[in-house]
């Protein structure tokens, strides 16, 4: 046994495999947000003081929040000023913002009333865009909670100091307001619901589709190999048949995956037919992509897609703002599975249907490019020798 070289190189192979697959953990180790886009909305109309001056405490708070960024350091939040709540809500629907920090119209009036016998609690509204990404939404919620708590602490201290300086007695209403002078109202938009695998349903649906597309492409590839097609005419017919079989498998995979996820696993699927058709498109795209690589590289191309899955999977559930600059700029944009994940988020959490969108466009262009490469393999010279007749 010890005469075989494989015995001596097997430890090196094992260490190489462990190292290779351990590298897949790098993106998910201690991820932290960097420049999460959050909308800042100030609808506060302000108040007029007895000396005829105007005070807008909402504007002051917005300026205080924006000034917290440290020059030279990457901030966890990228504050974006938005004119109105309606525009912020549209931006969250379009997946521009992970959250919105909104100051209502009566904020200044209610905050000034805190020093009166009949105080009215000012309110800050926090809109959390759950469907965009649960990890980022939770991080945005925690950041906004911390900001409101900091504002409350400052207002509480100021209120107590003002009341002490005036030697005033607290009313029951004022005492109740001291604990939380500014009320926080949290509104979840594009909600993920309770049957979404904690917002990871798109990734959960992707994995079986990706593996099935690899399996389907390999089976069709072997069938073409065993057919021993020669000449451009036969190869064209074989590839046409393979594409047709792939389209049939895509429809079966799309509707079966959607039915199984909804009826057996229990995932919430708002629109069954649109989701099934989108998954069918994704399967067909990946089938063509894998078939195109197999047509030129043979089974040597399969490790490409296996490694793509292992290296890409940790990134699929992670917002780009949590990635390092390398993964954000050079890995994430080139993952062929990203359009499927984004498209499923639109279908499952944003109430969209199977329509022409960025995700459908990306999958379509990948499919067209793969189809051209697959058809180009017709021109490739066949190195196999034809079978010799017996006798």
Buried b (16+ CB within 10 A) or exposed e, 293-317: bbbeeeeebbeebeeebebbbbbbb
Between CA 62 and CA 103 the distance in angstroms is: 9
If 0-12 CB within 10 Å is exposed, 13-18 middle and 19+ buried, where does residue 221 land? Answer: buried
- Taking domain 36-189, whether its CATH number is 3.40.50.300 is answered by no
- Which residues of the chain, if any, have pLDDT below 50? 385, 387-391
pLDDT value of position 292: 96
pLDDT value of position 327: 86
If 0-12 CB within 10 Å is exposed, 13-18 middle and 19+ buried, where does residue 282 land? Answer: buried
How do the domains of the chain map onto residue ranges? 36-189, 201-379
Q: How many CB atoms lie within 10 A of CB 351?
A: 12
Per the CB < 8 A criterion, the answer to whether 339 and 49 are in contact is no
């Amino acid at each position: 046994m010890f005469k075989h070289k494989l015995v001596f190189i097997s430890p090196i192979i094992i260490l190489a495999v462990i190292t290779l697959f351990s590298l897949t953990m790098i993106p998910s180790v201690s991820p932290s947000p960097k420049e999460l886009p959050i909308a800042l909305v100030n609808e506060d109309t302000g108040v007029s003081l007895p000396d005829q001056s105007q005070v807008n405490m909402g504007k002051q708070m917005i300026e205080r929040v924006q000034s917290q960024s440290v020059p030279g350091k990457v901030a966890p939040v990228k504050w974006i000023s938005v004119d109105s709540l309606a525009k912020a809500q549209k931006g969250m629907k379009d997946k521009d913002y992970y959250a919105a920090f909104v100051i209502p119209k009566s904020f200044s009036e209610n905050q000034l009333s805190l020093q009166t016998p009949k105080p009215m609690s000012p309110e800050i509204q926090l809109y959390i865009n759950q469907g965009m990404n649960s990890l980022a939404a939770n991080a945005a919620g925690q950041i906004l909670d911390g900001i409101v708590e900091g504002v409350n602490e400052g207002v509480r201290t100021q209120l107590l100091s003002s009341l002490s300086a005036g030697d005033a007695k607290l009313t029951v209403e004022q005492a109740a307001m001291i604990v939380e002078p500014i009320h926080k109202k949290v509104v979840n938009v594009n909600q993920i619901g309770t049957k979404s695998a904690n917002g990871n349903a798109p990734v959960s649906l992707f994995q079986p589709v990706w593996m099935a597309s690899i399996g389907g492409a390999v089976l069709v590839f072997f069938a073409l190999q065993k057919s021993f097609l020669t000449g451009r005419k036969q190869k064209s017919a074989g590839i046409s048949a393979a594409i047709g079989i792939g389209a049939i498998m895509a429809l079966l995979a799309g509707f079966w995956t959607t039915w199984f996820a909804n009826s057996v696993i229990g995932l919430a699927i708002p629109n069954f037919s649109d989701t099934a058709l989108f998954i069918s498109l994704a399967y067909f795209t990946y089938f063509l992509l894998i078939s195109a690589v197999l047509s030129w590289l043979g089974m040597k191309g399969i490790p490409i897609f296996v490694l793509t899955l292992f290296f890409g999977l940790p990134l699929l559930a992670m917002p780009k703002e949590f990635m390092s600059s390398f993964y954000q700029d050079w890995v994430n944009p080139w993952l062929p599975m990203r359009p499927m994940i984004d498209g499923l988020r639109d279908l499952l959490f944003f109430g969209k249907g199977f329509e022409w969108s960025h995700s459908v466009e990306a999958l379509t262009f990948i499919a067209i490019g793969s189809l051209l490469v697959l058809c180009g393999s017709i021109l490739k010279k066949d190195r196999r020798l034809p079978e010799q007749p017996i006798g």
